[in-house]
Structures are given as C-alpha cells and as structure tokens.
Structure 1
C-alpha cells in the first residue's frame, strides 16, 4: 500500500493535463461533433496530454524505454485517428487506429504466447465479423475485418502479458485493452448493427479515454531505476 501511495504521488502531477483536458471535452462538447475544428481539437487534447505524460515521466531511445516509445507512437496515431473520425473520414481513421494497435502490440510483445487466450478471442471476433459483414459496403468490407483482428491481437497480447506477470500496471493495461475493444464494439453496434444506445457518445468516449489512460500509465515503470519498485506481484 505504501508503494502504491508513492507511485500515485509521483505520477499524479504528470496526469493533471489529462484530467483538465478530459473535463474540457466532456463539459464543452455536449452533442455528437459535426466536424468542427474546435471539437476536433478538444477530442484530441486528452490523448496529447497522455503523450505528454509518457514523455514527462521519462523516455529515451535506450532499450529500457522501448515500450514507452511504442506506446507513445500508438498515442500519436490514435490522436490522428480521433481527428480523422471527427471530420467524417471513418476509413482513414480506422487505418490510423490500426497502426496505433500495431505499435501497442509491439509494446506488449509476444512472450508469453498464451495460445488459449488468443484462440478464444479470435473465435469470438470471427463470429462478430461474420455477423456485421453483411452490413458493410465499399472499403469497409475489407477494412473492418482487418481492423477487428488487429485490435483483437492487441487485446490478446495485453491479456497474455497480464496473466504472466500479475503486476499492477500490466493488469491495469489489460483492463485498458478490454475497454478499448468495448469502445470500438459500441461504435460498431451503433454504426453497423443500428442498435440505438442511450448516451452512445458518452459510453464510447468514456471507455475510450479510460482505455488510453490505462495503456499510457503502464509505461510508468519503464526504465532500470523504477522497474524494481513496481515489480511486486499482486497476490
């Protein structure tokens, strides 16, 4: 508990910009954005703040910070995806987010493999893709299935990493990956399935920002000096 208190004390000041931009977005953007510049900026600002966090807590080109670098690049492409979606360029936004997930996959790594987790996830997403595929047209017929399998791979690698280490930050990161999938699933339900959801934008954006926050926070123990402090297993 003392270690967690020290962790929170060290990280909270760097997360103030994220909290402030989050409040700005949810307080000022009251309805679905229509591609205005100001809503696009406000939508992107929390992700920019998370980029600031990753840089502010410490990052170099050394091997010890490679995960931070991959996640920083993932946040950059996520920010691009946010902007593209907000100006109604959905296919290009989806591509940008797919690249972001590839960087996240690189950050999470391929060991341990945990094949069973991957198998369950891929079977599940295959049923989902089959269900929505008939409702897609043009480039989305190809793009949506590819994106679904990319984000599923990201979820698989985060869960495999969490199961293996059982460290607070890796578990929190895996929760973030789950929330990311939930956020995208809510978009798919509203766009492709046509099921009306109460306060759909709020549900989508709350789960999305929480996901990105958890993934960004997982870099807190990068670096040789701090990694030993947060290596304690959760029993």
Structure 2
C-alpha cells in the first residue's frame, strides 16, 4: 500500500469517525433489542429504520459543514430515504407489503446508480453481472409464486444496475485509489450479498442466522455507499472530465 493511500486513510477516518456515532449507536440498538419480526409494530419499524435515517442525517450534516449539498450527495440522500421507506414496508412484509418494500428499494438502487454515473461503461462487467443475475433468477424461479415471478425480475435488474455502476467506478483512471470509489464498489457488492441471502431465506429454504447476516450486511452496505459522499463532495463531477 502506497504512502499516498495511507495518508488519506488516516484523514478519512478522523474526518468521518465522530459523525458516524449516531449510526453506530442505532446499529447496536437494533441488534440489542432484536425485536421479533412475528409481531410487527411502528416501534419495530422505527428501530429498523434508525440506522439508515442516521446515515441520511450524516449526509445532511456533512452538507451543512460544507455550506452546500452537492448533487451526488442529494441522490445518495434520496436513496437512503427510499431505503428507509422500504424498511418500513418490509417490517410488514409477511402481511402483504413485501413487494411494496421491493419497489422502494428498487427506486433507491436507481437513485444510487444515477449518483454513480455512467463513466466508464465497462460493458464486459455489465454483461457478467447480467449473466449472474439470470443464473440466480433461474435458480429461484421454481420457488416464486404470483406477482413475485415478475417483481423479482425488475428488482434483479435494478440491483444489477446499481452493482454494475458501483463496481465499474472503482478502477477509474488515475483516481483508482479513491475512497469514494472504493466505498461505492464495496457497498454495491455487500448489498448484493445481503439481498441474495435474504431472497434465498425467504423464497427457497431457511438459512441459519439469516436475519442477523442480512441486516448487518445491509447496514454495512448502506454505510459504505454513504461514506462515498465525503471524498466526492470535493470532486463531485471530476469523473466526468476523465
């Protein structure tokens, strides 16, 4: 690891560490309370949403410290808010609101993809992700029923779009050693893993400790995507000029 990479890392941690305390506290609260999913309530929905809402507050607080909220940050903020709505719907997922939650998260992925941009395209990566998505869908197809047969197609496509744009940016020219791009790439991959485990546990067969794995990886993915705004604030459209 080069010295140029180590120095920004230290500055990065020092800058964002204190601002992440609300997220880390609400993250711990969720797992300490561990409210049962069999008896959903507005309290359990709020507890589930708090870590993501804390990340939205992080985005606003960072924008306030800069005196402006750049376009990239606004899109990430919007994605977080739609994710929080998705969490609310999924709290009552077994009561018929699972597809509503998928829709909210689908919008969130589109907003994240919009923020990440379309440069560079890396169409080979897009094709690889599309093939993996198709393989996954074929594998779970026989377990799907009703509207979920079609809803999952759309969700796989937008999740694949988000992960493609997140990972495509990681090696962008001379800015490849970038915390912003590293965070988006890692966040996109972890998000896919989280949703993959969730869907297998829900549609196919029960996985041990699935809820703990899904929620911890989900919150980590959201945190990584959110952290990308810190470096990106100073070079919001720099990638466009490459």
- Alignment partners' CA distance in 2, 1:109 and 1:129: 26
Counterpart position of 2:133:
125
Deviation at 1:31, TM superposition (A): 4.2
User: Does structure 1 conserve the Cα–Cα contact (< 8 Å) formed by 2:180 and 2:232?
Assistant: no
**What whole-Å deviation, never above 9, does each CA across 1:174-215 have from its counterpart, x for those lacking one?**
111111011110111111111x21111000001100000000
| Among candidates 179, 185, 202, match of residue 196 of structure 2 | 185
- Alignment partners' CA distance in 2, 1:199 and 1:27: 15
Change (3 A) 1:41 1:33: farther
Counterpart position of 1:211:
221
- The runs of 5 or more residues in structure 2 that have no matched partner are 1-5
**What whole-Å deviation, never above 9, does each CA across 1:18-56 have from its counterpart, x for those lacking one?**
011011101011544531221111100000000010111
Query: Which aligned pairs between 1:1-80 and structure 2 lie closer than 5 A?
Result: 1-29=6-34, 31-32=36-37, 34-58=39-63, 65-80=70-85
Counterpart position of 1:109:
117
**What whole-Å deviation, never above 9, does each CA across 1:96-138 have from its counterpart, x for those lacking one?**
0000000000000011000110000101111111221222122
- Alignment partners' CA distance in 2, 1:10 and 1:43: 26
The alignment's TM-score, normalised by the length of structure 1, stands at: 0.90
Does residue 198 of structure 1 match 2:208?
Answer: yes
User: Does structure 1 conserve the Cα–Cα contact (< 8 Å) formed by 2:79 and 2:107?
Assistant: yes
Counterpart position of 1:221:
231
Deviation at 1:5, TM superposition (A): 1.9
- Alignment partners' CA distance in 2, 1:146 and 1:140: 10
- The runs of 5 or more residues in structure 1 that have no matched partner are none
Does residue 136 of structure 1 match 2:144?
Answer: yes
- Alignment partners' CA distance in 2, 1:61 and 1:107: 20
- Alignment partners' CA distance in 1, 2:233 and 2:15: 15
Counterpart position of 2:89:
84
Deviation at 1:161, TM superposition (A): 0.5
Partner SS, residue 63 of structure 2: coil
User: Does structure 2 conserve the Cα–Cα contact (< 8 Å) formed by 1:179 and 1:211?
Assistant: yes
- Alignment partners' CA distance in 1, 2:161 and 2:232: 23
The alignment's TM-score, normalised by the length of structure 2, stands at: 0.87
- Alignment partners' CA distance in 1, 2:131 and 2:8: 39
| Among candidates 101, 118, 121, match of residue 93 of structure 1 | 101
- Alignment partners' CA distance in 1, 2:136 and 2:16: 38
- Alignment partners' CA distance in 2, 1:223 and 1:200: 35
Counterpart position of 2:3:
none
Deviation at 1:4, TM superposition (A): 2.2
Partner SS, residue 232 of structure 2: coil
User: Does structure 2 conserve the Cα–Cα contact (< 8 Å) formed by 1:33 and 1:39?
Assistant: no
User: Does structure 1 conserve the Cα–Cα contact (< 8 Å) formed by 2:37 and 2:91?
Assistant: no
